[in-house]
């Protein structure tokens, strides 16, 4: 599928809510929440991209890697690449309202499945959107992960049961959404979660339980203490709190603290297969990609999603060849160029 035509169609269908910039870096849409931008100055969204851009990789060409294996197993599922479509919900709230929730999420779920990866689906202020997302998952054998907003635990547990009925492979709570503007605008009450609350949620399900919205070592350690199966290092795409560091900047220290104790997913500014390699080299087990899936679905439906995923997979494969990595497990901090003179220490692992 022609990518320029896909972007043109997406720009039209997004109805002014997203400019579909050549580089999706948060600059043009700063402060557009509701919308697809980052909160306030937009710096948290922008820093996700900047921090990842600053990371450089070591090119290695003397080796015997010519046909790398990009596959990985997570949550009991074999995947063709360490990539998930991030949970993005709310077509009428943030995406221009021209496309229905089903018409957005169904191509994402189906396109991901056809490409050998999985989509995450989400919850929002409009209850019907989660129900629609769960219907789509159930129609596709539950091949996806469900994220629920941090409501009162009683409400979350009720929605976890609905996720289980859909056949989901895992369930989680994006705890960083306790500050999401679009929820408070609709009179919805979200609350922060302590360790006790997270333990209660973990015990309520037999599915793998994921905590999304971790940005510090302390929170990562508490998620481990709460019994979570995985964390997502994420600042919610820069949409909940202005002036946070980028995900790539905090990932190494968090990985150093909890690697091997919990599955680590990273979500923030990933656009290409090289970005995927960087995040894994910095300590993630797999990544989430958000806004590009909106463009892919709005611009080309299932074909658009497949086109984008296959592009990222090809880029990852090429990057693995040029860094001498036969498997995803071979991608580690050795692929990261360590600039000892960098005052921020982004590359010092």
Q: Residue 340 pLDDT more than 90?
A: no
pLDDT at position 1, please?
81
User: Span 59-77, mean pLDDT?
Assistant: 96
User: What's the CA gap between 158 and 76, in Å, rounded?
Assistant: 24
| Res 346: pLDDT | 46
Predicted confidence band of residue 180 (pLDDT cuts 50, 70, 90): confident
C-beta of residue 231 within 8 angstroms of C-beta of residue 264? yes
Give the whole-number percent of the chain exceeding pLDDT 90.
Answer: 88
**144 pLDDT higher than 80:** yes
Residue-wise pLDDT tens digits, 266-295: 999 999 999 999 999 999 999 999 999 999
Task: Give the whole-number percent of the chain exceeding pLDDT 70.
Answer: 96
Q: What confidence score (pLDDT) does residue 343 get?
A: 44
Report the distance separating Cα 150 and Cα 193, nearest Å.
7
316 alpha-carbon distance from chain centroid? 17
Question: Can you tell me whether residue 258 is helix, strand or coil?
Answer: helix
> pLDDT digits over 38-53, tens only?
999 999 999 999 999 9
Q: Where are the alpha helices (DSSP H) in 227-290?
A: 247-258, 273-281
Kindly report, residue by residue over 307-331, the tens digit of the pLDDT: 999 999 999 999 999 999 999 999 9
Q: Which tens digits make up the pLDDT trace of 237-261?
A: 999 999 999 999 999 999 999 999 9
The per-residue pLDDT of the chain, averaged, comes to 94
DSSP state of 119: E
Paired with 342 in beta bridges are: none
Contacts of 67 (CB under 8 A, 6+ apart): none
Which of 201-205, 222-226, 345-349 has the weakest average pLDDT?
345-349
In 3D space, the residue among 120, 110, 142, 130 whose CA is nearest the CA of residue 232 turns out to be 120
Q: What is the pLDDT of residue 184?
A: 66
Q: Cα–Cα distance between 92 and 85 in angstroms, integer?
A: 20
pLDDT at 349: 42
């Amino acid at each position: 599928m022609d990518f320029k035509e896909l972007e043109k169609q997406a720009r039209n269908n997004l109805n002014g809510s997203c400019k579909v910039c050549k580089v999706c870096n948060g600059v043009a849409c700063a402060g557009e929440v509701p919308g697809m931008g980052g909160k306030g100055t937009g710096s948290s969204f922008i820093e996700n991209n900047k921090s990842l851009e600053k990371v450089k990789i070591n090119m290695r060409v003397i080796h015997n890697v010519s046909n790398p294996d990009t596959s990985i197993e997570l949550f009991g599922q074999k995947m063709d690449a360490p990539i998930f479509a991030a949970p993005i919900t709310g077509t009428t709230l943030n995406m221009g309202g021209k496309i229905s929730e089903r018409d957005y999420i169904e191509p994402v779920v189906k396109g991901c499945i056809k490409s050998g990866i999985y989509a995450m689906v989400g919850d929002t202020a409009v209850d019907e959107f989660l129900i629609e997302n769960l219907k789509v998952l159930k129609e596709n054998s539950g091949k996806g992960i469900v994220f629920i907003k941090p409501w009162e635990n009683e409400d979350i547990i009720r929605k976890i049961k609905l996720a289980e009925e859909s056949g989901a492979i895992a369930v989680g709570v994006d705890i960083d959404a306790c500050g999401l503007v679009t929820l408070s605008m609709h009179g919805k009450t979200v609350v922060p979660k302590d360790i006790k609350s997270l333990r209660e949620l973990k015990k309520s399900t037999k599915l793998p339980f994921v905590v999304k919205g971790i940005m510090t070592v302390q929170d990562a350690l508490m998620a481990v203490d709460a019994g979570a199966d995985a964390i997502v290092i994420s600042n919610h795409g820069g949409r909940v709190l202005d002036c946070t560091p980028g995900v790539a900047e905090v990932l190494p220290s968090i990985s150093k603290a909890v690697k091997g104790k919990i599955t680590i997913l990273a979500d923030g500014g990933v656009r290409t297969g090289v970005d995927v390699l960087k995040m894994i080299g910095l300590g993630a087990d797999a990544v989430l990609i958000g806004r590009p899936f909106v463009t892919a679905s709005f611009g080309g439906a299932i074909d658009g999603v497949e086109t984008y995923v296959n592009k990222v997979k090809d880029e990852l494969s090429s990057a693995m060849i040029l860094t001498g990595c036969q498997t995803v497990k071979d991608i580690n901090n050795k692929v990261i160029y360590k600039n000892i003179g960098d005052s921020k220490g982004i590359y010092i692992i």
